[in-house]
Amino acid sequence: MNIIFIGAPGSGKGTQSREFIEKYKFVQLSTGDLLRSAIAAGTVLGLEAKSFMDQGKLVPDDVMIGIVKDYLEANKGKSVIFDGFPRTVEQAKSLASMLNQQNSILDKVFYFKINPLILIERLTGRRVCTKCGEIYHVKTKPSKNEFVCDVCGGSVVHRSDDKESVIVERLAQFEKNTGPTIEYYKSTGLLVEIESSLAPELVFKQIQKVIAL
């Protein structure tokens, strides 16, 4: 089974992906995580991507499509959650082609709807462990020690792309680039809208009902 979680930054896609990985046999394709790994490693691709991400802009389609293709080849035959990909209609069409080459299909696309004001509050207060990826929030889920992860002891940081000025640009880019993608998937009959301002466990139940796992 292949499903897409699509939504603005901070809408809860990552949280729900981790839930499905823990409870079911899915692997997660998170382009954000893949890119951040490349940045941490200092690769040419990572440095190129960083210049876009630090400005709140999307990484070019050709870069993202290449990363996804390599990931799918390495995880052929597995059930995949696509978190943050595809963002554009071009990426969506490329994904369909890549899955077809593996004799696979896309089963559902979940659109995480949420008020932009809630998103800004979520993201400006978000803190992330650089080691295991655990997500915290200064108000709703602070770590016991401000700078140390409760799970693995790694460093908890405020990412550069979670600053308010960058967030506003990221949301504008999302509407511009991903709005047409949402309409594209709506036309295919695969799109399911999820109210993602609810508590994570309620969002999880909405998704479970649709795919009946």
Looking at 18, 50, 127, 170, which residue is catalytic?
A: 170
Close Cβ partners of 81 (under 8 Å, ≥ 6 residues apart):
3, 4, 5, 17, 20, 21, 26, 27, 28, 29
Catalytic annotation on 122? no
Catalytic annotation on 159? yes
Catalytic annotation on 36? no
Catalytic annotation on 126? yes
Structural tokens at position 37: 């790994």
Looking at 36, 87, 122, 127, which residue is catalytic?
A: 87
- Three-state SS at 49: helix
Looking at 108, 159, 163, 186, which residue is catalytic?
A: 159
Looking at 13, 18, 36, 122, which residue is catalytic?
A: 13
Catalytic annotation on 13? yes
Looking at 18, 36, 126, 127, which residue is catalytic?
A: 126
Q: Are 8 and 194 in contact (CB under 8 A)?
A: no
Distance of alpha carbon 193 from alpha carbon 195, whole angstroms: 7
Q: What residues are labeled active site?
A: 13, 87, 126, 159, 170
